[in-house]
A and B are shown apart, each in its own frame.
Chain A
């Protein structure tokens, strides 16, 4: 399995266990996860999030199971160079979380990043949220990523491809059915925020949208990595669909 939604490093809003790469690897072993796409959690809150990318590049060089997701701030001077470096250093994706950067999700900077990433054939990963809004720190007021922004992203360029994590059923349906089939084929969703039974949101989405749009993602260590596996184990998935969600879709996304 490939977990496309993992982090290393500390979280500013609460104590978080297991923030070291070795902790992540141990958790992956426990949950049966072979490889992970990794973001550098603290730098998502820094004025220049790209400052955390060096640690990811170094980590990915040292540990073949972990693949870096470079954070880019498109409002900073020469941000395009960070994109080129991400490509050169074999980042599997770049990430931009406009709410954490104080940027409009459909502002010129964000749209420019999406277009440039498309030209470089890099997927753009973004989180709707990192935590349940009801439990956030009182000073953690960053806006969540809205569904209308993702629709706009998909319309920004035919080359743009996005991975959205921590989205629930309503969000996913709003984007999917609010996009053309061609646009909807360029967005992938992780499992971290999609409910299983008895609401059966994941079962419904897989039937309505298809397994090709979904990726195995946990959000660990912000969330325990056992959740997406439990969700899949509560479905009667074909081996083919399960393989697509847990591995093949992620590999296809990065051209492997």
Chain B
């Protein structure tokens, strides 16, 4: 089994031309790579009618609903995260509850509110009740504010994770830009934070240092928007790890932290 814990799909009301081709391409590449499950999120309208990282409640409703339908169309291939905007607490809580009932398997927090903000606490409590892992968009070492998002880094995510020790957090795309070495130092002692290997970055030494920092039990395979670098990292790990350890990264760790039966 191979689980991509960081996938995205687009829809007819998203700000991406050729959205159907993008989705088809992900699924086709996934077949070639051997991806068993795409665990995906939709960030509202992807910028068309509200900002990607600050999605409005109506856009979240449409995006999450669209993803629920897509998962139903591909019951053996696609699972979904509920995406929420923590600035709208009640809406977010309702969305998590509704998503859980609709078969979603995790919570996606992007960059609408800093990770260590108290507004995220009720959402993480809700995630914990449903045994949802929380996939959090992370800028690897945020040295300043970035336009278009209220980005968080690993230090800020670990503050949140420390307040919710029974919830699993996924630090998004260690290869997604920024100083990954800074993130590795931050997450090392925070046992409930796992790392997804996605991102276009495939720096030499990154995989070895990630393994040294958190061990194989806290690594999750993912691709995000570059399946090519995801596959390359998987090929690299095939040489680096034993078959048993590789199976944890490919799927075993994900099976452990997602709700029971999520990948049955």
Contact = CB atoms under 8 A, between A and B. Distances in A.
A236 B200 CA distance: 21
Contact of A197 (B139, B227, B232): B227
A196 interface: yes
Contacts of A226: 202, 231-233, 235-236
Interface string B191-231: 00000000011111101100000000000000001111101
Given A196-B29, A223-B203, A231 B228 contact: yes
A132 B202 CA distance: 10
Contact of A221 (B29, B181, B204, B226): B204
Interface in A229-243: 229-231, 233-234
A17 interface: yes
Nearest to A19: B204
Interface string B21-49: 11101101100110000000000000000
A198 B225 contact: yes
A48 to B, nearest CB: 26
B177 interface: yes
A171 interface: no
Contacts of B143: 138
A24 to B, nearest CB: 11
Contacts of B227: 196-198, 234
Contacts of A234: 29, 32-33, 227-228, 231
Contacts of B204: 16-18, 220-224
Nearest to A23: B204
Interface string A1-27: 000000000000011111000000000
A137 to B, nearest CB: 8
Given A17-B205, A134-B177, A221-B204, A199 B225 contact: yes
Nearest to B175: A132
A16 B29 CA distance: 31
Given A17-B208, A135-B140, A197-B29, A223 B202 contact: yes
Contact of B232 (A138, A198, A229): A229
A142 to B, nearest CB: 17
B178 interface: yes
Contact of B235 (A200, A223, A230): A230
A234 B229 CA distance: 11
A40 to B, nearest CB: 16
Contacts of A227: 202, 228-229, 232
Given A30-B239, A220-B204, A234-B32, A200 B232 contact: no
B180 interface: yes
B156 interface: no
B179 interface: yes
A79 interface: no
A138 B179 CA distance: 10
Contacts of B25: 197-200
B225 A230 contact: no
A196 B205 contact: no
Interface in A189-248: 195-200, 202, 220-224, 226-227, 229-231, 233-234
B228 A230 contact: yes
Best-buried of B178, B232, B233 by chain A (most CB within 10 Å): B232
Contacts of A14: 181, 205
Contacts of A134: 139-140, 177-178
Contacts of A131: 203
B177 A230 contact: no
Contact of B226 (A30, A138, A196, A220): A196
A230 B232 contact: yes
Given A223-B203, A223-B204, A234-B32, A197 B181 contact: no
23 contacts: A17-B204, A132-B201, A134-B177, A135-B140, A135-B177, A138-B143, A195-B200, A195-B225, A195-B226, A197-B25, A197-B228, A198-B227, A199-B22, A223-B203, A224-B233, A226-B202, A226-B232, A226-B235, A229-B235, A230-B228, A230-B235, A231-B228, A234-B231
Given A16-B204, A196-B226, 18 more contacts: A14-B181, A15-B205, A196-B29, A197-B25, A197-B26, A198-B22, A198-B227, A199-B226, A224-B204, A224-B236, A226-B202, A226-B233, A227-B229, A229-B232, A229-B235, A230-B228, A230-B235, A234-B33
Interface of B: 21-23, 25-26, 28-29, 32-33, 139-140, 143, 177-181, 200-205, 207-208, 225-229, 231-233, 235-236, 239
Q: List the 3 shortest-distance A-B pairs measured between CB atoms, nearest first.
A: A196-B228, A226-B232, A134-B177
